[in-house]
A and B are shown apart, each in its own frame.
Chain A
Amino acid sequence: MATIKKLAFVVRSLPYKTEASRLAFTHAIASQTVEIYLEDGENIEPVLCFIGNGVMNCLKNQQAMKHYGITSNEQHMKNSLLLDLKVMICKEDLDKFGIKEDALIMDAEDIGGETKAQIVPYSEIQKELEAVDHIQLF
């Protein structure tokens, strides 16, 4: 029987100010190769949740490569969606900052992704957090 453990990566940090939000992406994406350490039928299911200042990580048109010569969190977001990771963005926090959906990276269609990010009320994120095995705050 398959055993899937759900891990929540809750991002509260601003992009680029620290490495934290980038680490949330890279650790969550690492779930794609975790099977090499696990038994048959075991796996990790990550969910990325962006709340508070963390919603800024989801903004389009990030210019990290241009200004710092590093990959942007936008690219990591797209890679997460390309890999079908569940991505939830807190609606109340977007409203608080006046950020509209068209300013956000909602899909990775340009690189062949089919999964879309979800803008949801915090209550849905809370429900998700109650259902996971481990929560990690970034």
Chain B
Amino acid sequence: MGKLTIGCFSSLVGSLSLDFGVKLSQAAVQKGHTVDFWVSSNATMLSKKGQRAFKDYSALAKPLSELFATGKFKATACEACAEARGYGKEDTMEGWIRKSMDWYLASAFSADRVLLMGGD
């Protein structure tokens, strides 16, 4: 089985890039692959705990929790990007790691495929 590293910069609300990234992660994990999911820039919003699900906005806390439970999915938020947006460690959803950008590059080093979804 392979390892997929996904990086994303887009915001949780205002774009469906993160939705796509999480769906792709689900598909990969279901096939037995492992996924490293990296968020920086506005995408760090995905790691914020306490998100309320409305039908008009993307809500990914539940699928993320399910992905974490598989043990085949790791999600890491850029610490500086999160802090710059006022998301402290105490605001971070369970299961997430917070690291600097070198974590992403190290993940890319051992990945079979890397997919970067940019911001807007």
Interface residues of A (CB under 8 A from B): 5, 7, 13, 18-20, 23, 26-27, 30-34, 36-38, 42, 44, 46, 134, 136-138
Contact = CB atoms under 8 A, between A and B. Distances in A.
B39 to A, nearest CB: 11
Interface string B1-19: 0000001010000000000
Main secondary structure of the interface of B (DSSP, over half): mixed
B36 to A, nearest CB: 11
Contacts of A13: 118
Interface of B: 7, 9, 40-42, 100-106, 108-109, 111, 113-114, 116, 118-120
Contacts of B120: 18
A34 B103 CA distance: 7
Main secondary structure of the interface of A (DSSP, over half): mixed
A137 B105 contact: no
22 contacts: A7-B114, A19-B9, A20-B9, A23-B9, A23-B40, A23-B41, A23-B119, A26-B101, A27-B40, A27-B104, A30-B100, A30-B104, A30-B105, A31-B102, A33-B102, A34-B106, A37-B102, A38-B106, A44-B105, A134-B108, A134-B113, A137-B116
Contacts, number: 63
B108 to A, nearest CB: 6
